[in-house]
Amino acid sequence: MGWVRSNLDALRRLRAKLQGGAFTLVGEDGKRQKVTEADFLENFLRNLERLRVRYRGEEVLPPHPVGEALKETVNPLPQLLQNAADAQHRLDAQLEDESK
């Protein structure tokens, strides 16, 4: 449960940093996606739900589009966003390993 708590704290720091603004993520294919505070909150909630269904032994939901964008981002990110991208990679790897 500490993992969820620390990520919630990171989400709060990210929320304070965003202050309603948006970040642009550039994917490997050059596609640009603007993400807002609300998008990060939706991604966090989707990740919680993904963990919940995995715990119940059900099929894991696909990542939120923001989670996918974070994993595929090639542009340099502020440290807080880089931490969010790293956390998304770890979560997806964990969910994939447990499903095998």
Contact 26, 73 (CB under 8 A): yes
* pLDDT at position 16 over 80: no
DSSP for the chain, written as a single string? -HHHHHHHHHHHHHHHHHTT-EEEEEBTTS-EEEEEHHHHHHHHHHHHHHHHHHHTTPPPPPPPHHHHHHHHB-S---HHHHHHHHHHHHHHHHHHHHH-
Task: Tell me what the mean pLDDT of segment 37-44 comes to.
Answer: 87
pLDDT digits (tens, 9 = 90+) for 86-95: 888 898 898 8
Mean pLDDT of 74-82: 79
Q: Which residue has the higher pLDDT, 51 or 19?
A: 51
Residue 29: predicted pLDDT = 86
pTM strictly above 0.85: no
Q: How far apart are CA 34 and CA 10, in angstroms?
A: 19
- Cα-Cα-Cα-Cα torsion 35, 69, 71, 58, nearest 10 degrees, comes to 100
pLDDT at 1 over 70: no
